[in-house]
Amino acid sequence: MRRVSIPYDRTVLEAEIDERNFLGCFESALPAAAADQAAAVREALDRPVGSPLLEELAAGRRSAVIIASDHTRPVPSRILMPQLLERLRRGSPGIDVTILIATGFHRGTTRRELVEKFGEKIAADEKIVVHDSSDESMLTSLGTLPSGGELVINRLAAETELLLAEGFIEPHFFAGFSGGRKSVLPGIAARRTVLANHCSEFIQSPYARTGNLENNPIHRDMLFAAETAKLAFIANVIIGRDRKIVRAFAGDPVAAHAEGCGCLRRFAGVAVPQADIVLTGNGGYPLDQNVYQAVKGMTAGEAACREGGVIIIAASCSDGHGGESFYRNLAEAASPEELLARVAAVPRGRTEPDQWEFQILARILSKRKVIVVTRDCDHRMLERMHLSAASTLPEALGMAYALLGPEAKVAAIPDGVSVIVNPSRCL
């Protein structure tokens, strides 16, 4: 028997799988965190990819905007931001710097969260503006995206003399990777621009998948937005499960991001044999607090599980479904297939909030059964969303074997949000 552990909330759930069923356990191979976090960033800034030094870019500039991730992203800003500020002022001592919080579609970051993110000194001494995607007074139009949607971003970013961004790179389930150009779109874009970019047509694209940028229509719009906004420099990091920096990349927004994505792909890529049953998780707390977030881990199961198979995901979902629109659209649908057909008919300009999330879950459910393993969430609610539920991994495995037979092959992907399944598909 092989024992498998899956992160769940702040602990793990375990199960034993017979050797005759077990295909293997597949995890990312991220190296240990850098011994000196600040030095890793400093070295990246000293040797920028495809770009002059940041202090050289700043020379003669009167203003700069640094786009910073918001409270929902574990970017180590306490390490990144002081170095960016110091180099800007080294290059142009009198430069007027604004830190613009890239909230995207999220709520505004609070004062307390700014202190937690940057530390008391930066939160108190620096000019910080929190982006609001619905506040038209903050926004300005820069034209039209390749998709046809209007490109509207924060006016501060559009009008500054030097635009740069901090961020981190991780696998993303429809943009391919986070980081780089995502600081602009969706980070500091208008609500209507984000919705146009996340349209059903693009989410449906086979290229809008984890680890893939080539021919990805969502990435194409994002890249265009960053270039049009004149994003000039990025400082991005890869972080481990302990949220410490593993690698740092700085320089040209396209070249530095590409180097970071290539590095992460080497570490996070896992070749998983096609399985009848995939056992996975969403990384535990805080990523497994609701069904909405757990969809990300399910996409790793989708990539590894055959059609007609079963995805078992361990996720606490202690906060429930994670979004009323997300829940309602699934619960009110006669079937996942019916919901998919309805979403497919929604034009680019009529995308509704959370549409992409229930579209992806419906896509998964239309081809595979999903069993959510949770002790902290109402099983009846999950069933109304066309999901199945179990309280333990052995119980879920028993349900899957009952459906597929005792010889069904099982692959384990303990942390579905940290891997890129089958890297040969990632162009």
The catalytic residue positions are: 106, 172
Nearest to 203 by CA among 219, 187, 191: 219
State the residue for tokens 């999903």: 370
Q: Which residues of 71-89 are buried (b: 16+ CB within 10 A; e: fewer)?
A: bebebbbebbbbbbbebbe
User: What is each CA distance from 353 to 36, 138, 196, 296, 327, in whole angstroms?
Assistant: 41, 21, 11, 17, 12
Compute CA distances 252 → 47, 53, 60, whole Å.
11, 10, 19
List, in sequence order, every residue forming a beta bridge with 186; answer none if it has no partner. Answer: none
- Of the candidates 143, 165, 147, 144, which has an alpha carbon nearest to the alpha carbon of residue 156? 165
Question: CB–CB of 247/268 below 8 Å?
Answer: no
**Residues in contact with 289: Cβ distance below 8 Å, sequence separation at least 6, in sequence order:** 316, 317, 318, 319, 322
DSSP 107: P
User: Which residues neighbour 406 within 8 Å (Cβ) at sequence distance 6 or greater?
Assistant: none
Q: How far is CA 14 from CA 11, 56, 262, 263, in A?
A: 10, 53, 33, 31
Peptide linkage before 394 cis (omega within 30 of 0) = no
Our separate counts of H helices and E strands in the chain read 16, 20
Q: Which H or E run includes 87?
A: helix 77-91
